[in-house]
């Protein structure tokens, strides 16, 4: 097929082209982490573009976390922070947030948390145990009227277990999900108050299994726990 009349007006703007070029240099490690980019003036000359177009490209790159711009100093290749990596995902969930998404999130927890507890039992460090036990203690003496704090503490318990897997991929994958749970508080966690005693007991059993590095028991106890949470959720949702 001859490409005589191929597209001309692809409307890929100049600043986007510049953005891609610099991004490619970073991805290919030609610009290693922490490296200082040439100044705006030099880059303008290299690319033969105006400062306007160049700067708009740089703004995009900094918005995505690839570079850090320091006034008066220069521009540096930045290590993408975890917050940057998941902020887009968080924003996505934030805008898509509705009851449908809630049930999907509950479902994911129901599905994955037992396996995560299993891995946490294998890989947990002393530090994780400390965090978990402190969390339980705090949860116990938590003001019963402060539902919000209770739910957040509960949520943190589960997130701590995710982190105790010491698998960064799991942590990154699950973090956006847990950061969404506080938003679900008002939606249905209101009737959690009657569950407090059970929650404490369940958390303690899970904690002990993880402490003993008993993977199967950690799995089993967590499964029991999320199964019950699931029931509570369903019951509440039927109203």
Residues that bind a second copy (CB under 8 A): 11, 13, 15, 19, 26-27, 33, 52, 55-57, 59-66, 70-71, 79-80, 82, 84-89, 91-92, 94-95, 101, 104-105, 107-108, 111-112, 115-116, 118-119, 167-170, 172-174, 176-177
Least distance CB 19 / DNA (angstroms): 10
**CB nearer a second copy, residue 191 or residue 213:** 213
CA dihedral 45, 47, 52, 57 (to 10 degrees): -140
| Structure tokens that stand for 231 in this block | 């029931």
Least distance CB 137 / a second copy (angstroms): 26
Pick from 177, 168, 154, 197: which is nearest to 82 by CA?
168
Which DSSP string corresponds to 176-190? HHHTTHHHHHHHHGG
> 46 to 105, contacts with DNA by CB under 7 A?
49-53, 55-56, 58, 69-75
Distance CA 152, CA 141 (A): 14
Rg of the chain in Å (alpha carbons): 24
Per CB under 7 A, residues contacting DNA are: 9, 11, 13-15, 37, 39-41, 49-53, 55-56, 58, 69-75
């Amino acid at each position: 097929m001859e490409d005589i009349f191929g597209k001309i007006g692809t409307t890929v703007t100049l600043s986007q082209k510049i953005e891609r070029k610099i991004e490619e240099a970073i991805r290919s490690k030609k610009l290693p982490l922490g490296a200082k980019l040439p100044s705006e003036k030099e880059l303008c000359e290299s690319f033969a573009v105006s400062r306007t177009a160049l700067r708009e490209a740089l703004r995009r790159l900094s918005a995505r976390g690839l570079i850090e711009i320091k006034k008066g100093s220069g521009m540096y290749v930045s290590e993408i922070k975890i917050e940057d990596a998941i902020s887009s995902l968080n924003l996505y969930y934030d805008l898509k947030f509705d009851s449908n998404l809630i049930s999907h999130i509950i479902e994911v927890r129901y599905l994955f948390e037992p396996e995560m507890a299993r891995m946490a039992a294998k890989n947990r460090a002393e530090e994780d145990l400390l965090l978990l036990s402190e969390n339980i203690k705090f949860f116990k003496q938590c003001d019963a009227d402060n539902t919000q704090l209770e739910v957040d503490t509960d949520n943190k318990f589960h997130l701590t277990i995710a982190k105790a897997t010491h698998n960064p991929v799991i942590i990154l994958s699950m973090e956006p999900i847990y950061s969404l749970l506080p938003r679900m508080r008002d939606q249905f966690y209101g009737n959690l108050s009657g569950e407090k005693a059970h929650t404490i007991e369940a958390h303690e059993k899970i904690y002990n299994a993880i402490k003993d590095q008993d993977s199967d028991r950690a799995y089993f106890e967590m499964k029991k726990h999320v199964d019950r949470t699931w029931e509570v959720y369903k019951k509440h949702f039927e109203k």
